[in-house]
Amino acid sequence: MKIKPVGGKQFRASEEFFDSVLCLQPRVAAFDCDGTLWSGDAGERFFDWELREDAVFPYRTERESLSRFWRNRYAAYKRGEVDESTMCGEMVTLHHGIPESRLTPAAVNFFDEFFLTQIFPEMRALVRRLQANGCEVWVVSSSNEWVIRAGMRHFGIPETRILAASVQIEHGIATDRLIRIPSGPDKANALREVVKGPIDVAFGNARWDTEMLAMAKQAVAVNPNPDLELTARKRNWPIYFPDGTGPSSA
């Protein structure tokens, strides 16, 4: 458990890291999810999983047809032919016509099977301590809202504090009308829409979090990808690697 020294400050243990955040007495905190609160991309993994399993698309012929189309579409995204926000939006709107009564338990079962053990214990402890101190904690993610809700059950964060990729629900059925896709600048925009007042501290791991981090009084790069790590060093943001992550853990 370590923070890389940035601007002369080096944290030697998670407790020292916690103290560095808690001493700010933040009233509002914002967290990215994938790669920041847990290892891996839950939205991407759920997308792959649901195209193989029958929990969401129960009919084999339908699922196989969808799988061919969406895997080709995702390959185009990976080649840079589809932009990030568009792909994240399509990974939500593909569920149009499906009851939330099917999507919600599928997401819970998926998260608990594949991502519960991926949660960074230090980050869960930090969230809990912030909440205990009266801090208003928000999570912002471009992954679909059903998966993020499933993950937040383990952090004690209510659905009303979740800003994730989402569509309108009508009569309990998912539509293809997007509400938000919080990716890149839209993470900061989503927070501005709902949070009254400044963001005191924000946590993220990728370049898609840069604008959200920049809007906070204090930004912290957690388990950062190389591009965000470079930005953090240039902007003098602390960099924290939870236990088991970072260059020395390879």
Are 187 and 211 a contacting pair, CB within 8 Å? yes
Average pLDDT over residues 162-176: 97
Q: How far is CA 25 from CA 90, 96, 131, 188, in A?
A: 39, 42, 11, 21
pLDDT of residue 222: 94
Residue 178 has pLDDT above 70, yes or no: yes
Per-residue pLDDT of 131-147, as tens digits, reads: 999 999 999 999 999 99
* Nearby residues of 138 by Cβ (< 8 Å), 6 or more positions away: 28, 29, 30, 31, 161, 162, 163, 191, 194, 195
Percent of the chain with pLDDT over 90: 85
Per-residue pLDDT of 185-235, as tens digits, reads: 999 999 999 998 999 999 999 999 999 999 999 999 999 999 999 999 999
Domains and CATH numbers, the chain: 2-249 (3.40.50.1000)
Per-residue pLDDT of 34-44, as tens digits, reads: 999 999 999 99
Model-level pTM?
Answer: 0.91
Rounded distance between C-alpha atoms, residue 38 and residue 117, angstroms: 9
Rounded distance between C-alpha atoms, residue 201 and residue 29, angstroms: 5
